[in-house]
Chains A and B, each alone.
Chain A
Amino acid sequence: MIAQGHPRSIGKHVPRREDPYLLRGEGRFLDDIAEPKDTLFLSFAMSPHAHARILAIRTDAASALPGVVAVYTAEDMARFVKPIRTVIEIQGYRASSRMVLAQDEVRFVGEHVAVVVAEDPYIAQDAAELIEVDYEPLPAAVRLEEADSESAPLVHEDIPRNVMFEAAFASPDFQAAFESAEMIVSETFRTGRVAGVPLEPRGCLALLDHVADSLLFYTSTQIPHLARTALSEILDFPEPRIRVVTPEVGGGFGTKAQFYTEEVVTAALALNLRRPIKWVQDRREELLTSIHARDHIYRLEAAIDGEGRIKALRTDLTTNAGAYSSYPFGCTLEATGGARMIVGPYDIRNYAFHTRAIATHTCPSGAYRGVAQPSCFMAIEGLMDRIGRKLGIDPATVRQRNLIRSEQLPYTNVLGVRYDTGSYEECLRRALERVDYWNFRKRQAEARDDDEVLRGIGICCFTEVAGAGSGGWRVRGLTKVPGFDSASIKVEPTGKVTLLVSQAAAGQGHLTTFAQVLADYLGVKVEDVFVSEGDTATAPYGTNTFASRGAVAAGGAVIKAAQSLRQKIARIAAFLLDVDVERVELTESKAIDKENPEKSVDFRQVAQIAYSMTSVALPQGESFGLEVVEMYDPPLATWPNAVHAVVVAVDRRTAKVSIEKYVVVHDSGRLINPMIVDGQIHGGIVQGIGEALMEQIVYDEDGQMLNANLLDYLMPMALDVPQIDISHIETPSIDALGGFKGVGEGGVIGAVPAVTNAVADALARTGANINRLPLRPSYLLREMRRRQLAVDGDRK
């Protein structure tokens, strides 16, 4: 319950307090931290083969290079490091463990085979190139389409047909409903493998405190607490003597929400050599070894009625897990996510899925922004358009007929998941209006067949899983992911407020948004609140930052802590104001007597009493200090929803796509800072535009990556981005404290399907069937020509 009468901070465009030092270039990112003089630097030798047996490793030339201190292989590391094992308690999952350096066998190009420790990063790389490795190349399972066949080479001996995870589901009367429907519409969708590519590659710095024999570990991460626990288990080193500190992070997007082998090696070697160790990744390594995502095949079948309503939907999903199950989310997150989230905002009562994560000799996959949702919504929203084309009903109308209606909310979907509130119909209605949908359709119908430019419009209606609590992670088998987050509030003796949260931002503006929440729920001026996070020595334990959970989980924890601390402050203030506690109201860092507001005491005066620093003693029974820590476990998940509508123009001769109009109507429940929410949506949309039009990690049939550089892994630049028109609907969550729903991933989830559908719509006239990403001009022209050849063939 918000402090009444308090000038609200939540909902305001509060400029970010992070900006001033970042704009002066004073933000300290990982490699900016001044490392001690005796710091040693790491460089890894990487496998050039996708699959090979390691016959011999000769490190003498490398070790002999002046400036090199040591060279380690897997055997050396095994003495003091255990393999990383991703535990996922879900039926159908086969765990695989991974040594921090490849042992006996390399399983993807770029896998680390040895590590050099040297006095200078340049020398470390010189030495890494002197390491000679004799490989016996072995056949590699690379193409997802073939990796689970009988004859496919095995990535792990103990995982038959490379099926690392498999699960199926069918709602009670699915089969009957599927067979009774009038018509089946089916399609296969193939999404391209992409990577998060944060502008700051990964890196870490391990420092030893000899006296306390403890480890101070800086790492560019989104999961400081989870990383600390993992380090302790893998190094067998007491968790209380590990302190993980998150520096400024130059973008994460999920890429840094994994725990990587290099972090283990850096910490282990610091402990072993008793010297500070620093490792900074370069871009080539980052593209080769940071997690990839979205390498998926969807086969959808929808049983529909004459009106275009989906009576029953069947999803067959295959995801590429890569060589190992990444830590902590593993290879099941995309496979379960894609299969479970695809029903989205649609009232689909009969649903069945069969989903699998297949191991291949490629870089491990992991949780990149949106986690499977951009792909699964590309599939379902592509199917909605095809239903429309088959029945001659406009795709917007098909969606209107399938959407869950507001009067059905709260709604429990076919997988038993509860959508508490939402604005599915209203978002679609407003998006169609703002994109001037029906006039566009009119103009499109009048367009001539020989126009040089083909225009199309694409829609994506979606829900986004966000703010998942412990229930949400357990249901996915991810028992190592706690689900709760926490906040510690201290009103200091001087009356200022210290807020510590279990998060680790990478540009989301946490220091500003959590101060806004605390200001409203504690009745303190926002400028009196000082937020800090990311340091496990100060911030309380929590699940940290990924999957659009910050606002919901940590926001909720701040509210819970504020509500409990308010009582104590009000009691002490009532004592000072000599009034009944019900008459006390906290506002603007003051406690006022509601009945005569000019009578008040400020937080400083209350704090002085609480810290026993005045002549007046604390009232009987009151404890000292003004400090509280609260853990908050959000509901199973919150469900922001949105509609993206996009108009594209495709040059018929060059098949180059340009985005002419981009409209978003978004509902993230109650918005804390709309300016920051819009920034998250902009960034997500542009990553989605990249994923749809140009981004792809390319492996050849031998498992060689062909674009581990930014000239060949194309991402959108300023000239590729349209004007983006965002409008908000605020339907607060009734399950999550504060009514927040989260927004981190909505942008990318909506953009991939909407842009793909727009291009497919533009080319539908040419008969091209656009169902795979990315939509490079070469692919689009080939599809246009394929049908034209067929047409020419018929005409001859």
Chain B
Amino acid sequence: MKPAPFEFRAPVSLDGVLEEMREHGEAARILAGGQSLVPLMNLRMLQPSVLVSINHCKELSYIRAEEDGLVCGALARQWDVEHDQVAIQRCPLLVQALHHVGARSNRNRGTVCGSLAHADPLAELPAVALALDADMIAASSTGRRVVPAREFFVGALENSLRPDEILEAVRFPYAPTGSRSCFIELGNRNHGFAIAGVALEVTFGEDGRCRRARLAVMGGENIAKRASDTEVALAGSIIDEAAAREAGRLTASLVDVAGDFHADAAYRRELVAVLVERALIQVASGAAGRARSI
């Protein structure tokens, strides 16, 4: 399929981009890497009348280690974030998830913010943003606002940006020293869209008990979801096989899953339970990615 016609804008500054969004808003879409957007345009499911490319806005292409987190600009390519030393050291969950995002050639061009704004129910990065309470920096010609991840993701392919806003950057909080994280997903094929996935970060206390667990799960027709009840249940406990299995069972009961021809609802629910259990065991056994303080 060939895409439908559109007008093309390629402003060279953020202000230029925001001006275009102010003018066109509803009818416009931002083009960054295009790895999620263009397939829908080629299949003519999505026919924006104005496409605003940010690829010529050098000021949006940055990965900055700031005081309270790693900030990725709207043009930060997934591959660059995946190989950024600070990200590897201090945001291991983000890097682990990026390994699963599409093919290498998708990650070369796809951006972190693009994947977050697209909010596909089975995309890995929204689950990570929710798990880590990332902050989305929304910019418009009238100013900026910070949207916490739990308020950013509304539903399948839907975020809470206003029509004239763009996702200028995302801030991933650093993982606490000594915390361990892992990202697991499983699909009907060994690489490609998952049926369910788990983003987990656990901070252990000196006594080896779980001081804080941050867990988000993706698995169905809706956007990834934070499993807060499970986090509360895990706090203060030793993560052994029994605790891991119970946490998996509890999380599965929280997630709303729906069946389709890839997998029925019962299977998705059971898979969420198994993946949470295995993620916890992997984190507890120290085999997971370890956050190192610089």
Contact A122 B190 (CB under 8 A): no
Task: Output the least CB separation between B43 and chain A (Å).
Answer: 7
Within the complex, the shortest CB–CB distance from A469 to chain B, in Å, comes to 40
Nearest Cβ in chain A — how far from B217, in angstroms? 15
Q: Are B5 and A777 in contact (CB under 8 A)?
A: no
Q: What is the bound-complex CA distance between A709 and B5, given in angstroms? A: 22
Query: CA separation between A151 and B20, bound complex, in Å?
Result: 59
B contact residues around A709 at 8 Å (CB): 43
Contacts of B271 in A (CB 8 A): 654, 777
Q: Secondary structure at chain B's binding surface: helix, strand, loop or mixed? A: loop
**In the bound complex, CA of A719 to CA of B191 (Å):** 7
Among B5, B261, B264, B274, contact of A653 (Cβ-Cβ < 8 Å): B274
Residue B58 CB within 8 A of the other chain: no
| Stretch of A183-191, A318-326, A710-718 on the interface side | A710-718
CA distance A782 to B264 in the complex (A): 9
B263–A282 touching, CB < 8 Å: no
Q: Which B residue's beta carbon lies closest to that of A700?
A: B261
B186 at the interface (CB under 8 A from A): yes
| Cα of A654 to Cα of B264 in the assembled complex, Å | 13
Who on chain A is nearest to B267 by CB? A778
Chain B's nearest CB lies how many Å from the CB of A83?
28
Verify A125–B189 contact, CB threshold 8 A: no
Which among B2, B188, B192 is the interface contact of A776 at CB below 8 angstroms? B188
Closest chain A CB from B39 CB (angstroms): 8
Q: Nearest Cβ in chain B — how far from A557, in angstroms?
A: 42
A706 cross-chain contacts in B, Cβ below 8 A: 260-261
Q: How many residues of B contact A (CB 8 A)?
A: 26
Interface members, chain B 225-270 (any A CB < 8 Å): 259-264, 266-267, 270
Given contacts A656-B186, A714-B188, contact A122 B2 (CB under 8 A): yes
Residues of B within 8 A of A711 (CB): 192-193
Residue B294 interfacial (CB < 8 Å): no
Interface residues of B in 147-204 (CB under 8 A from A): 186, 188-193, 195
Question: Least Cβ distance of A716 to chain B in Å?
Answer: 7
Cα(A693)–Cα(B190), bound, Å: 11
Known: A716-B189, A717-B189, A720-B189. A778 touches B262 (CB 8 A): yes
* Chain B residues with CB under 8 A of A656: 186
* B169 CB → nearest A CB, Å: 29
Residue of A nearest to B5 (CB): A126
- Residues in A with CB closer than 8 Å to B189 are 694, 714, 716-717, 719-720
Q: Are B263 and A778 in contact (CB under 8 A)?
A: yes
CB contact under 8 A between A707 and B270, given known A714-B189, A714-B192, A720-B190: no
Contact: B188 with A777, CB < 8 Å? yes
Complex alpha-carbon distance, A778 and B260, angstroms: 10
Bound-state Cα–Cα, A126 to B4, Å: 7
- On whether the beta carbons of A654 and B274 are closer than 8 Å, the reply is yes
Judge whether B44 is part of the interface by a CB distance below 8 angstroms.
yes
| Interface residue from A129, A284, A654 paired with B43 (Cβ < 8 Å) | A284
Any chain B CB within 8 A of the CB of A360?
A: no
- Across-interface contacts of B5 in A (CB, < 8 A): 122, 126
Determine which residue in B43, B262, B266 has the highest number of CB atoms from chain A within 10 A of its CB, and name it.
Answer: B262
Rounded to whole Å, the gap between the CB of B44 and the closest CB of chain A is: 7
For B122, give the chain A residue with the smallest CB separation: A711
- Cβ–Cβ contact B188 & A694, under 8 A: yes
**Is the CB–CB distance between A782 and B267 below 8 Å?**
yes
CA distance A782 to B266 in the complex (A): 8
| Chain A 123-177 interface residues, beta-carbon cutoff 8 Å to B | 125-126, 129
Q: Which residue of A lies closest to B1 (CB)?
A: A282
Is A764 in contact with chain B by the CB < 8 A criterion? no
CA of A714 to CA of B262 in the docked complex: distance in angstroms?
10
Indicate whether A601 reaches chain B with its CB closer than 8 angstroms. Answer: no
Q: Is the interface of A mostly helix, strand, loop or mixed?
A: loop
Q: A284-B43, A656-B186 are in contact. Are A121 and B2 (CB under 8 A)?
A: yes
Cβ-defined partner of B261 (8 Å) among A121, A698, A781:
A698
Asked if A712 and B262 make an inter-chain contact with CB atoms under 8 angstroms apart, the answer reads yes
Other-chain contact of A696, B193, B260, B261, B264 (Cβ < 8 Å): B261
Known A125-B1, A126-B5, A709-B43; contact A778-B264, beta-carbon cutoff 8 A: yes
Q: How far apart sit A711 and B5, CA to CA, in the bound complex (Å)?
A: 25
Judging by beta carbons under 8 Å apart, are A654 and B186 in contact?
yes
Chain A residues positioned under 8 Å from B274 (CB to CB): 653-654
Smallest beta-carbon distance A756→chain B, Å: 16
B264 contact set on A, CB distance < 8 A: 778, 782
* A473 CA to B281 CA, complexed, in Å: 61
Specify the chain A residue showing the minimal Cβ separation from B248: A653
B1 adjacent to A781 (CB under 8 Å): no
In the assembly, what is the distance between CA of A778 and CA of B261, in Å? 9
Give the chain B neighbours of A125 by CB distance below 8 A.
Answer: 1-2, 44
Given contacts A653-B274, A781-B267, contact A776 B190 (CB under 8 A): no
Proximity string of chain A (94-127) to chain B, C-beta cutoff 8 Å, 1 when within and 0 when not: 0000000000000000000000000001100110
- Give the distance in Å from the alpha carbon of A653 to the alpha carbon of B192 in the complex: 21
A301 CA / B143 CA spacing, docked (Å): 75
Q: Which of A121, A654, A711, A717 is the most central at the interface, judged by chain B CB atoms within 10 Å of its CB?
A: A654
> Which residues in A have their C-beta under 8 angstroms from that of B190?
717, 719-720
Assembled-state Cα–Cα distance A698/B274 (Å) = 27
Question: Across the interface, do B263 and A777 meet the contact criterion of CB distance under 8 Å?
Answer: yes
Enumerate chain A residues within 8 angstroms of B1, measured Cβ to Cβ. Answer: 125, 282, 284
Interface 0/1 of B114-153, CB less than 8 Å to A: 0000000000000000000000000000000000000000
Residue of B nearest to A781 (CB): B267
Question: A778 — which chain B residues lie within 8 A by C-beta?
Answer: 195, 259, 262-264, 267
Known: A694-B189, A719-B190, A719-B191. A781 touches B2 (CB 8 A): no
B285 shortest CB reach to chain A, Å: 15
Encode contact with A along B30-74: 1 for CB under 8 Å, 0 otherwise: 000000000000011000000000000000000000000000000
Name the distance in Å between A696's Cβ and chain B's nearest Cβ.
7
User: In this complex, which of B191, B259, B271 has the most chain A Cβ atoms within 10 angstroms of its Cβ?
Assistant: B271
Cβ-closest 10 pairs across A and B? A719-B190, A778-B267, A778-B263, A122-B2, A698-B261, A653-B274, A714-B189, A282-B1, A694-B188, A720-B190
26 A-B interface contacts by CB (under 8 A): A122-B3, A125-B2, A125-B44, A126-B5, A282-B1, A284-B1, A653-B270, A653-B274, A654-B274, A706-B260, A711-B192, A714-B188, A717-B190, A717-B192, A719-B189, A719-B191, A720-B189, A776-B188, A776-B262, A777-B186, A777-B188, A778-B195, A778-B264, A781-B267, A781-B270, A782-B267
